[in-house]
Amino acid sequence: MSRSVYSVILDDEVVAAVDRAAMRAGTNRSVMMNRLLAAQLQYATPEDRIRSVFQAMQSAADRYGTWQVLGEDARSQFSVRSALRYKYNPTVKYSIELFAHQPEYLGVLRCQLRTQNTVLIGLLQQFYQLWAAIEMQQLDIPGQSFEMDGTRFSRLLRLPQEGGTAGQLAVRLTRYVSLMDDCMKLFFETVDQPEHAAAAVRRRWKQGITAELAEL
């Protein structure tokens, strides 16, 4: 959705009230005015849709008993934490950020594991590289959609051809995160046999990548 600059004449007292409301909400005047007008006109803004998707994702994520849903700002991103079956039981954090005004991409998936263990970091980088290689080959995703830096990984999410409802999009995103989490756990369970681990991840990815997930 595009945005433009408009000139309007408003009472100073109205603008002051808008500024106070914006300050309480932690936003700026333009965003607050857009939000108030949309609410008055019963129009769902992109920000409203994002909040609806994240609320639906929370319900969808509750079905995964091994996930811990993190209480972060639902206006900007949705995050869960999952434990790996590896030494010291490290936890990996998956975060989904959706774009409100980006015509090309739906959002971005970020993955991070906090550790200073060099062996674990090296194994994690192997998994990230394997995951990116599979998706570039199988889904024709360009390499610039992926970023890897130490324990951090990000992947731009494409806009589905048919957007669907907030609930449908939430299920799709949750299933994608679940597939990546399953593959990462499978990789670390068989990491002592690198070739076997890579083959197992490829098989699990192919089993789980539905037509809907392939659009992301």
Residue numbers of the domain that contains 164: 46-214
**87 domain residue, yes or no:** yes
- Examine residue 73 and state whether it is found in any structural domain, yes or no: yes
Ranges 46-60, 107-121, 167-181: which has the least confidence: 46-60
Give the per-residue pLDDT at 114: 87
CATH number (domain holding residue 134): 3.30.1460
Q: For residue 2, is it within any domain?
A: no
Q: Are residues 171 and 150 in the same domain?
A: yes
Q: Same domain, yes or no, for 114 and 202?
A: yes
| Residue 162 belongs to some domain of the structure | yes
Q: Is the pLDDT of residue 71 over 70?
A: no
pLDDT for the residue 12: 82
Residue 39 shares a structural domain with residue 126:
no
The pLDDT value given to residue 42: 66
The secondary element (H helix, E strand) that includes residue 95 is: strand 91-98
In a domain, 1, yes or no: no
Stretch 103-121: mean pLDDT, rounded? Answer: 91
Do 28 and 132 share a domain, yes or no? no
Give the number of domains in the chain.
Answer: 2
Residues 86 and 189 grouped into a single domain: yes
Residues sharing a CB contact under 8 Å with residue 70, sequence separation 6 or more, in sequence order? 79, 80, 81, 93
CB 167 within 8 A of CB 56: yes
